Amino acid sequence: MMEQTMEHLYEQMGIDRAVYTFCEQIEEGLTERFQAIDRTAAYNQMKVLHAMQQNQLSEAHLFPSTGYGYNDIGRDTLERIYADVFHTEEALVRPHITCGTHALHIALAGNLRPGDEILSPVGKPYDTLDEVIGIRPSAGSLAEYGITYRQVDLLADGSFDWEGIRNAIRPQTRLIEIQRSKGYASRRTLSVEQIGTLIAFLKGIRPDLICMVDNCYGEFVERIEPTDVGADMAVGSLIKNPGGGLAPIGGYIVGTRECVERAAYRLTAPALGKELGASLGVTATFMQGLFLAPTVTAAALKGAVLAANVYESLGFRTIPNATEERSDIIQAVEFGQADLLIAFCEGIQAAAPVDSHVRPTPWAMPGYDSEVIMAAGAFVSGSSIELSADGPIKPPYTAFFQGGLTYPHARFGIMKSLQRMVDKGLKL
């Protein structure tokens, strides 16, 4: 077969020339942004490679272990590598951590005791933590173990409420929960530098406070991580950035020896901690995923930047906006109309390598106060480092868009979403 033009290939996949040209012209203006993202990826790639070489990663580390998993040198080496990448004393990186929420739960539960208080100085944490902490009553929550919670909201302009934070620190305050990404809130994502300023302020008041950062979606977006600016722990999911799209499950906690060990006692059992936990053959995938994570994160980031620029130029509000610096891979777009939000998500689904023929529909998901639409055609179920989008069907009809294992795929997804909206009457 003869080679075709790119436009023709896209046309075969349902993208009109007008949509293609519109997006391509916007993309042409993003060269410098993309180069900066590539330079960050190159930096982080060296950081990961250096940690692998320093720890003499070997073929023997890639083999499975079974049973109790004592002396699993592959698992231990993986954790040494994570600790070096994040510049921490210790790391816990396990397939037995089922998701990000689970990782956050063991970090909290392992490090808190009855009578202790958690303080969030950045407003309400991610929805799934409501029941972990007990903000919404829930069986097994930290509240049931006598652990209390306080929060100080960000000020209207998004800055920290320094006075409010100072006043909220009490003798029983033990752990500070800092969420880097905005999650499903409309605040800005915190930069690592902002997190560092906040931690310095907190430690200036009480050096013994444990500062834990929910690092979900933030890994490798910048050259430094929260653990480089004073965080005692950073926590995240392997089916987001650091798994590089390959990890089929898992979570991580990096931080001080004491914090990570306490979390490990909660994951397995007191006295057992990190010594146990057979890796069942996932270590090779975790290693390779980490190796790819900097460039996969860069691909997702470029997709987010392209989406912001495309949709902002069409008059929609985008968070972050077209030109802002980023500290996570999430892009929010306010569509203001349910049918446009639905069309957007349909387009993302139709662009997927898996289940592209399936049409997502809004449904009443447990734990949400409105219907939610989700688009995900991923190799790893529910993975949000793969191209995905979701949004609650309520004003301002915001789509949360993230991922893309390769930039060409994210690019196609954005065009497909726009095409769907054009088909429903949107004017370019």
Ligand X SMILES: *Cc1c(COP(=O)(O)O)cnc(C)c1O
Q: Which residues bind ligand X (CB under 6 A)?
A: 99-101, 126, 128, 179, 181, 183, 214, 216-217, 237
Shortest Å distance, C-beta 275 to ligand X = 26
Q: Which regions of 286-330 does DSSP assign to beta strands (E)?
A: 317-319
Shortest Å distance, C-beta 100 to ligand X = 3
The residue with tokens 């949360």 is: 400
Its sign, for the CA torsion 126, 131, 137, 143, is: negative
Shortest Å distance, C-beta 300 to ligand X = 13
> Considering beta carbons, is residue 227 or 237 the nearer one to ligand X?
237
Nearest-10 crossing angle of helices 31-54, 283-313: 170
**CA atoms of 379 and 206, how far apart (whole Å):** 45
**CA atoms of 210 and 283, how far apart (whole Å):** 30
| DSSP single-letter state for residue 350 | H
Cβ(132)–Cβ(101) below 8 Å: yes
> Considering beta carbons, is residue 43 or 368 the nearer one to ligand X?
368
The pair of structure tokens assigned to 320 is 């972050």
Bridge partners of 234? 213, 254
> Considering beta carbons, is residue 72 or 214 the nearer one to ligand X?
214
The terminus-to-terminus CA distance of the chain in angstroms comes to: 34
> Considering beta carbons, is residue 15 or 378 the nearer one to ligand X?
378
> Considering beta carbons, is residue 367 or 408 the nearer one to ligand X?
367
> Considering beta carbons, is residue 179 or 194 the nearer one to ligand X?
179
Shortest Å distance, C-beta 216 to ligand X = 3
> Considering beta carbons, is residue 101 or 279 the nearer one to ligand X?
101
> Considering beta carbons, is residue 217 or 316 the nearer one to ligand X?
217
Dihedral of the CA atoms 312, 316, 320, 323 (nearest 10)?
A: 20
Task: Give the amino acid at 273.
Answer: G
Shortest Å distance, C-beta 101 to ligand X = 3
Task: Give the amino acid at 366.
Answer: P
Shortest Å distance, C-beta 288 to ligand X = 21
Total Cβ atoms within 10 A of residue 220: 27
> Considering beta carbons, is residue 100 or 294 the nearer one to ligand X?
100
> Considering beta carbons, is residue 279 or 383 the nearer one to ligand X?
383
Dihedral of the CA atoms 354, 357, 363, 365 (nearest 10)?
A: -10
**CA atoms of 94 and 194, how far apart (whole Å):** 29
- R_g over Cα of the chain: 22
The residue with tokens 């310095």 is: 200
Total Cβ atoms within 10 A of residue 141: 20
Bridge partners of 254? 91, 234
Shortest Å distance, C-beta 183 to ligand X = 4
For 15-33, b where at least 16 C-beta lie within 10 A, e where not — what string? bbeebbebbeebbeebeeb
**CA atoms of 46 and 364, how far apart (whole Å):** 44
Shortest Å distance, C-beta 290 to ligand X = 17
- Point out the residue whose Cβ comes nearest to ligand X: 100
Shortest Å distance, C-beta 359 to ligand X = 23
Total Cβ atoms within 10 A of residue 346: 23
> Considering beta carbons, is residue 70 or 379 the nearer one to ligand X?
379
Cα Dmax for the chain: 73
Shortest Å distance, C-beta 224 to ligand X = 19
Shortest Å distance, C-beta 129 to ligand X = 7
Question: Cis ω on the peptide bond leading into residue 396 (within 30° of 0)?
Answer: yes
